[in-house]
Structure 1
Amino acid sequence: MPRSWNDRALVAVLLARFVRARWGYRFRSRARFDAWQRRRLARFLRRLGTVPHYAGVAQPAGVELSALPVVDKGVLLEHFDGLNSRGVRLADALGVALEAERTRDFAPLVAGDLTVGLSSGTSGRRGAFLVSPRERMLWAGTVLARVLDRRSVGQLLRLWAPPVRIAFFLRAGGNLYESVASSRIRFSFHDLTEPFDTHVAALDASAAAGAGPHVLVAPASVLGALAERAHDGRLRIRPRLVISVAEVLEPEVAERIRREWGRTPRQVYQATEGLLALTCEHGSLHLNEESVHVEREWLDAERTRFTPIVTDFDRRTQIIARYRLDDVLRVDPAAPACPCGRVTTVLAAVDGRADAVLRFPHECGLREVELFPDVVRQAMAAASDAYADWRIRQRGLDLHVSLASPAPGAEARVHDLLERLLQSHEGRAVVVFDPWEAADPTVKARRIVREPARG
């Protein structure tokens, strides 16, 4: 069937973004990049009058970003219809998204052509986000250009070569992700609400037939489980590119993948609020500042950890302007410039959500002690040979620890490690061990959580 003019226009958008994201956006200095970003931000701010929520703020000449209020998930949900340019109501968007999750049919749209995505709900109330066809193409072009390795891009561009095979594991499907599919890419979607071993068997069968995936994309915990199956001989795939999405990539999981497939996993840091960071060919996780402006709320005096406030100037349907995320990001001020040549900010790590920062009273009782996720992970890594996996939940002054398949003496070792960690920070808490429970595959995996105080 011949493409319509609209389809051709969308393909042109994807190809233009692919070329620019892969070979363009190169700046000689950070100062030149900042000047370019300010111009893009100014154009975005002049368009704010198209959404009712900012109608009284935006002017033809634009408005300073600092004049806009900082918003969060609560504001976005409360003013959903006023924060999108199409007037879509939250109830309508959620209705489509929840029905899609129930039926596993992610084709339905709202307002004629808008894809609806559903947030994970890890912070409480679930929310929805809207993406237009043009925004889907911008997303797809950016991801393909920035994540695929040189060999895959070469295969993609050689029309006589077989298509690139991508296996994608997700807890919810969506037109947003499937935008990547084309005649040059063979896309297989693995629904994580279905039995995991069914997917393992299907992947193994494809590998046996010589049609295993070239690219493997999955949440970090799923990649770890797939690497374990491969190590045990139950999965014979040999992906040449492994991409972690949706969850924090733990160092031990990354190492497990490297040992099994000889590939350092790349990361896509994607949130409801936009495409926030991607790994370059040198392994550095760059903020996607070509599309997102990031303000920083510093969490420590050394200015190494911050909560991001993002403004996405690619989004025209659902406006993301000065949106405070729940995440904790880490940078290394002393890190050298990335050899890839990009001047955008390199993240040392995505430490997780803000509620992954554990807080306890100081021994003096007059202030709080904060244990950041990377510090806790390092402590737990010291005993990683004694268990298969772990989770920690803070409830009040208790630190509840669960260990998977613990070896004899594992709980005592972990107890001592966490006690020493608390003592080194002069904090007070009680370490409690709970039985291990298998994680729900439809819920984003989180190893460290500080539960809200109960009233």
Structure 2
Amino acid sequence: MNIADRISVLYHYGMARRKRRWSGREELERWQEARVREHVRRVRRESAFYRELWGDRPSAEWREFPIIDKSVMMEKFDRLNTVGIRKEEAFALALQAERTRDFTPMIDGVTIGLSSGTSGNRGLFLVGRRERRTWAGTVLAKVLPGPLSDGHRIAFFLRADSNLYGTVGGGSLQFAFYDLMDPLALQLARLGKQQPTLLVAPPSMLRLLAEKQKEGKLAIRPERVVSVAETLDPLDRGVVEEVFGQPLHQVYQCTEGFLGATCRHGTLHLNEDVVCVQKDYVDRERRKFVPIITDFSRTTQPIVRYRLNDLLTELEGICPCGSPFMALEAIEGRCDDLYYLPALDGSGWVPVFPDYLARAVMAASPDIEEYQLVLHAPDRLNVRLRVSEALRAEACRRVAETIGELCGTMGCRTPSMEFTDYTFVPGSRKLRRVERRFRFDPDTGLVF
């Protein structure tokens, strides 16, 4: 990293650390509005896709502009990005990086990334040089366990590396990427040698590392542990926090940007200093919504009125940290994993949220070490449990009972349950504790 890049990263780090820039929510929203309008005017000039999509509608009406999603972004990729990169070219480079595990090549200084594609639809992301510096400064400000000047050793686990992640290294910061595809023995040896002060990994890997630490096969003392990339389940949180003796923090990061991070109280706040979030409520009474985001920090691949596939739950009340940024109670997972079960009275379908199912399993037995629920059809549920053989029969009985009680309370039919062993190993696939394996159209009730 050259001097100009370092200065830029430090500038954005300082800006993100200024948590009291706004006196309250109203002032923050006025500031956001001005930034988004300015951003929309620039995007209209530089992106042919958005220019045609918005037509002559004034920038002040941006909140009513058409909504796009990943499928639209990928279909219109060539005309949506502002640097003239073609989808075919970007995919070719990203796939080559996946095969060779060399993630350093760029196109004209632009980082090319490929999402994991858990929904079966892999997405591309482009990040320019200025955006990499902005991202690095913001991440460091919100994730490091202490001031930047203290110096830190960062261990970062993910399925694929990127030039984006390496931007955080340099100077007093030591950054090491750990490929989830590497053998566990190699990862444990590297961790023992590095002794990271900041450990960042998907919760399934953090859980595995915690178990190795408990077994005496790993001995590290990170000052902060951060969960990324997968939905954080309370069962995993409990084990990781117990072993490492500290609260587990979270980062909400996806192809579409750096969307959130936990404060010192452990509350997950959306990063509304770089992204504006509109809420499409799935259940307003239960505070559950799908975010529609506008990232006013990105221009290479503009994200304007983009509907994510994530299901979020707002925090009830105000976080004691005093931040005006929107606070979340939980990231529940993907909308595609929301269960739809037939109503008992035959009137249609009943949505059952992933967190309800997770709570039912955890309430069933304290002896369950890990679990996964996979709904293959509205009447067929596969329950995968990790539990000692001596306690397995009772645990299975109790899980069937608590899920049945939940379905009765929700007014839906209980699916038949098949119990199998839990076998997930961290690696190329993301862990989804609650998963739906069929497509469902809630408007028509069609299952396919």
Question: What TM-score range do you get, normalising by the shorter chain?
Answer: over 0.9
Q: 1:59 to 1:291 in 2, by over 3 A?
A: farther
Structure 1 runs (4+) deviating above 4 angstroms are: 58-61
Partner of 2:191: 203
Residue 174 (structure 2) aligns with: 186
Distance in 2 separating the partners of 1:387 and 1:284 = 26
Q: Who is 1:355 aligned against?
A: 336
The Cα shift of 1:37 comes to 0.6
Residue of structure 2 equivalent to 1:418: 403
Q: Does 1:123 align with 2:119?
A: yes
Between the aligned partners of 2:386 and 2:276, the Cα distance in structure 1 is: 40
Q: Which moved more, 1:18-27 or 1:51-60?
A: 51-60
Stretch moving more, 59-68 or 88-97: 59-68
Which residue matches 1:140? 136
Question: Please, what TM-score do these two structures have when normalized by structure 2?
Answer: 0.93
User: Which residue in the other structure is 2:247 paired with?
Assistant: 264
**Is the 8 Å Cα contact of residues 149 and 281 (structure 1) preserved in structure 2?**
no
Note the C-alpha offset of 1:58: 6.1
Gaps of 5+ in 2: 440-446
- The one-letter code matched in structure 2 to 1:431 is M
The equivalent of 1:157 in structure 2 is 149
Q: Distance in 1 between matches of 2:96 and 2:36?
A: 36
Q: Quote how far apart the aligned CAs of 1:442 are.
A: 1.0
In 2, Cα distance between equivalents of 1:435 and 1:377: 17
CA drift of 1:351 comes to 0.7
Q: 2:418 aligns with which of 423, 428, 432?
A: 432
CA distance in structure 2 between the aligned counterparts of 1:276 and 1:58, rounded to whole angstroms: 28
Q: Distance between the aligned counterparts of 1:398 and 1:303, measured in 2?
A: 27
Q: Is the 8 A contact 2:314 2:330 kept in 1?
A: yes
Correspondence 1:449 to 2:435: yes
2:153, 2:284 → 1: CA distance? 46
The Cα shift of 1:382 comes to 1.6
User: Quick check: 2:180–2:426 contact (8 Å CA) kept in 1?
Assistant: no
Pairwise mapping of residues 213-292 of structure 1 onto structure 2 (< 5 A)? 213-292=196-275
* Secondary structure of the structure 2 residue equivalent to 1:15: helix
Contact 1:26–1:342 under 8 Å retained in 2: no
Instruction: Structure 1: give runs of 5+ residues left out of the alignment.
Output: none
Partner of 2:442: none
Structure 2 residue 32 is matched with structure 1 residue 37? yes
Contact 1:46–1:58 (Cα < 8 Å) also in 2: no
Paired with 2:392 and 2:255, the residues of 1 have a C-alpha distance of 42
TM-aligned CA deviation for residue 253 of structure 1? 1.5
Q: CA RMSD in A?
A: 1.8
Indicate conservation of the 8 Å contact 2:19/2:323, yes or no. no
Structure 1 residue aligned with 2:41, among 25, 46, 58?
46
Deviation at 1:301, TM superposition (A): 3.9
Rate the CA distance shift 1:143–1:52 in 2: closer, same or farther, 3 A. same
Change (3 A) 1:262 1:435: closer
Distance (whole Å) between structure 1 residues aligned to residue 278 and residue 199 of structure 2: 32
State whether structure 2 residue 164 is matched by structure 1 residue 176: yes
Indicate the residue corresponding to 1:71 in structure 2: 68
What percent identity do the matched residue pairs reach?
40
Q: Which of 13, 16, 23 pairs up with 1:18? A: 13
What SS class does the counterpart of residue 269 from structure 2 fall into? strand
- The equivalent residue for 2:361 is 380
Alignment partners' CA distance in 2, 1:113 and 1:141: 19
Within 2, Cα distance between the matches of 1:199 and 1:438?
18
CA deviations over 1:25-49 (Å, ceiling 9, x no partner): 5211111111011000111111122
**Partner Cα distance (2:380, 2:233) in 1:** 24
Whether the 8 Å contact between 1:119 and 1:272 is mirrored in structure 2 is: yes
